[in-house]
Chains A and B, each alone.
Chain A
Amino acid sequence: MGFQKFARGTAAMALVMGAATAAQAEPLKIALVETLSGPQASTGLLYRDAVKYQIGKINEAGGFGGEPIELLEFDNQGGPVGAADRVRAAISEGATVILQGSSSAVAGQVTEDVRKYNLRNAGNEVIYINLGGEAMELTGSKCHYYHFRTSPNAAIRVNTLLDGMKEADVLGDNVYAMNQNYSWGVDVQDNTVAAADRLGFTVVEQTLHDVNKIQDFSPYVQRIQAADADTVITGNWSNDLLLLMKAASGAGIDARFGTAFLDQPGNIGNAGAVAEGHFLSAPFNPEVNPEETAPFMEDYKSVTGHYPSYVEPATVFGMMLLQEALKEVEPTENGLNAADLAVALENATAETPMGTISMRGADHQAILPMIVQEVSLDAQYKADDTEYGFVPIKVISAADAEQPVQDSCQMKRPG
């Protein structure tokens, strides 16, 4: 008797609960598939901070379809294999949007997995928002309709950097291209060589080296010196950048470095005076548009505990694009329809402290302003508790920073 009553009660409860969920739209699930543990986790954790920050903002403003957005975190452990597995897990847990940023190698895997999944599950697609994989192939030969890149790419980085350095009259005639031997490094090298005629410099030598395996860069520095380079353009990041700069400074070489990732936390702290005078092209600088940027800096710090740097600002801006796109989409009874969101994202623009950023429909590459900056004692916001920081030299508008769509991008559109 007792059991029967209990069973009947439970069944009734289940019915009521079932009805309640059916009436409400499913909350939107966004999955962050990043490197959250292991040696490369430092960058992955920055992506997480930035994503959490902006999703918090979106949820404060009402979330999606009246429900807060749910952020799922998956640790890809730094490699494409882990990422493939985690992307599957994310999709099976109901994520409609997948976010990932660190490493073009991982991005290449994720974008292929998403493309294949969408082929097999028409009508039930997922969207991949690439927050930081900057290799050209991701919006070139590997481009597809459900991939969106919100960060700059190698062509944008290198051309804005070279333009800014040329205009500041620090580029010199002899440029050395020193890069890591994988998709991103090769792209930086190719774009440096391609810009030589336009800007009137000579690429005296090109070197590709192993990624994050080299302790001693002095033999490479010797080559820079032998080539009589005025400027070294490098896409190197992390230790490969630090050790290269330190070895060059130790050898007394005064070649100036033009970099893409000098603002990674720890770099300025470790290099100290060695970094002074080196250049960086990045989508953010805290001294540009101070009346809008300063409140953003302080707000970000109050939420996450630190000022935004490195990949964080661009990630926040990318999430702003997603926020604007979500405003244009109506939830269906099954939650978000990815095809609707893709249409909205293609046409999205967002107002950021750095200016307007927008998504280009032809290859799904974000068009965004870039700031060419120099490491200097005069910076208002110091990096890594040192006396150095980044001073903006030239703000390049989104229109000027834009690079042409690659011919290799054959995007198949639905319908």
Chain B
Amino acid sequence: MDQILFALLNGTIYGLLLFMVSAGLTLIFGMMGVLNFAHASFYMLGAYFAYTLQPLTGFWLAIILAPILVMGVGILVERFILRHVHEHGHAHELLVTFGLSVVIAEMIKMVYGKFAVDYRVPAELNFAAFSLSGIDYPFYRLFMGGIAVVMFIAIYLLLTKTRVGIVVRSAIYRPQMVEALGHNVPMVFMGVFGIGAALAGLAGAVAGAFYTTNPNMALELGVMVFVVVVVGGLGSMGGAMAASLLIGITNSLAVGSDFRIADILILIGMGGWAEEIGGLLTMRMSSLAATLPFFIMLLVLVLRPSGLMGEKE
């Protein structure tokens, strides 16, 4: 029982982390129709900025300042790169962001070296929140989950309950009309891009200390974030949340399970045959855990191409 409880909790927290990064990606896509390949790079920048600031400002100020810096980078990228490419179409925007992700990764390697840096959870946060049947549960994990939940609520309220949110949402559907009403639509887009980048930066600043801060972190998380956004439905904030949790929890439960396809076949009397064939049939679920998200993505794309909560195209 405790095992399953832990697995659920672990999965939820990991899912919330995925949400923190994918929230910005899906926000930007929903708003501007740009699939931003460099998004996970903003996550990496957040971690490295916080690592650099921590000795100067302390941990708390570092995780506040780092996202602001990343927002600055995001705004510059939108203003001076994406806006110029926009008129040439989506393919060009895609290529520009892809190139940008490579450039950012190489620059990080030049400045900080090729190996992981020692950005760690500060000692005052490094304690066990509670203990269940001999396993401590690190407080910092709950802290990361908490930040993600706060972030979700804040974005949701901002988009649905405020004037700014109304302008932003209408700018997606009828940009000309919104412009005619006197709102600065390019400015709105720039702001959205900046905020999206800042959210990824915040995730990086917080999670980089818990996991590792290395030049490959964008690559490692980037793929998973795209899976989340596709499964959740491009542009849907609620979908991103649902998909993050789904992937986090299935992943965590699968690791703990020794289930094999052969075990089902035994029930219908084909166990011996399955053992003989081996291969995929006798592979333990636990060694396939990291592959499951891609399987889920495949299922979603086949059965519901617009994603769990995506709008029908």
Contacts and interface: CB of A to CB of B under 8 A. Distances in A.
B33 to A, nearest CB: 29
B289 A42 contact: no
Interface stretch (A59-67, A149-157, A205-213): A205-213
A269 B116 contact: yes
Contact of B290 (A214, A226, A252, A264): A214
A243 B212 contact: yes
B116 A41 contact: no
B290 A210 contact: yes
Contacts of A266: 115-117, 214
Contacts of B119: 270
Contacts of B248: 216
B290 A219 contact: no
A272 interface: yes
B216 A222 contact: no
A212 B211 CA distance: 13
A189 to B, nearest CB: 11
B290 A242 contact: no
Interface stretch (B129-137, B187-195, B259-267): B129-137
Describe B's contact surface by its main secondary structure: helix
A45 B114 CA distance: 10
Contact of B286 (A39, A45, A209, A225): A209
B117 A222 contact: no
A218 interface: yes
B135 A251 contact: yes
Contact of B116 (A209, A252, A267): A267
Given A243-B211, A252-B136, A219 B120 contact: no
Nearest to A219: B255
B221 A209 contact: no
Contacts of B255: 209, 219-220, 223
B14 interface: yes
Contacts of A250: 136, 138, 140-141, 210
A409 interface: no
Contacts of A39: 215-216, 219
A384 interface: yes
A220 B287 CA distance: 11
Contacts of B124: none
B118 A269 contact: yes
B256 A223 contact: yes
Interface string B99-138: 0000000000000001111111000000010010011111
A181 interface: yes
A29 to B, nearest CB: 28
B117 A210 contact: no
A263 to B, nearest CB: 12
Interface in A177-232: 181, 207-210, 212-216, 218-223, 225-226
Interface residues of B, number: 48
Contacts of A246: 210-212
A239 B116 CA distance: 9
A250 B128 CA distance: 8
Contacts of A239: 116, 212, 214, 216, 220
Chain A: number of interface residues, binned into ranges: 35 or more
**Of residues A210, A219, A242, A251, which shows the largest number of chain B Cβ atoms within 10 Å of its Cβ?**
A219
B52 interface: no
Contacts of A25: none
B209 to A, nearest CB: 10
A213 B290 CA distance: 6
A406 interface: no
A222 B6 contact: yes
A209 B290 contact: yes
A252 B135 contact: yes
B3 interface: yes
A253 B135 contact: yes
B211 A215 contact: yes
Contacts of A212: 220
B291 to A, nearest CB: 7
Given A219-B252, A251-B138, A252-B128, A41 B114 contact: yes
A252 B127 CA distance: 9
Contact of A215 (B131, B221, B287): B221
Given A39-B215, A219-B252, A252-B136, A384 B6 contact: no
Given A207-B287, A208-B287, A209-B287, 15 more contacts: A45-B114, A208-B284, A210-B290, A215-B220, A216-B10, A216-B17, A218-B14, A219-B11, A219-B255, A239-B116, A239-B214, A243-B211, A270-B213, A272-B120, A384-B115
19 contacts: A39-B219, A207-B287, A210-B288, A213-B220, A215-B221, A216-B13, A216-B252, A218-B14, A219-B251, A219-B252, A219-B289, A223-B286, A243-B211, A250-B136, A266-B115, A266-B116, A266-B117, A270-B212, A272-B120
Interface of B: 3, 6-7, 10-11, 13-14, 17, 114-120, 128, 131, 134-138, 140-141, 210-216, 219-221, 224, 248, 251-253, 255-256, 284, 286-291
Interface of A: 39, 41-42, 45, 181, 207-210, 212-216, 218-223, 225-226, 239, 242-243, 246, 250-253, 264-267, 269-270, 272, 384, 386
In the A-B complex, the 5 residue pairs with the closest CB atoms: A266-B115, A252-B136, A219-B255, A210-B290, A42-B114
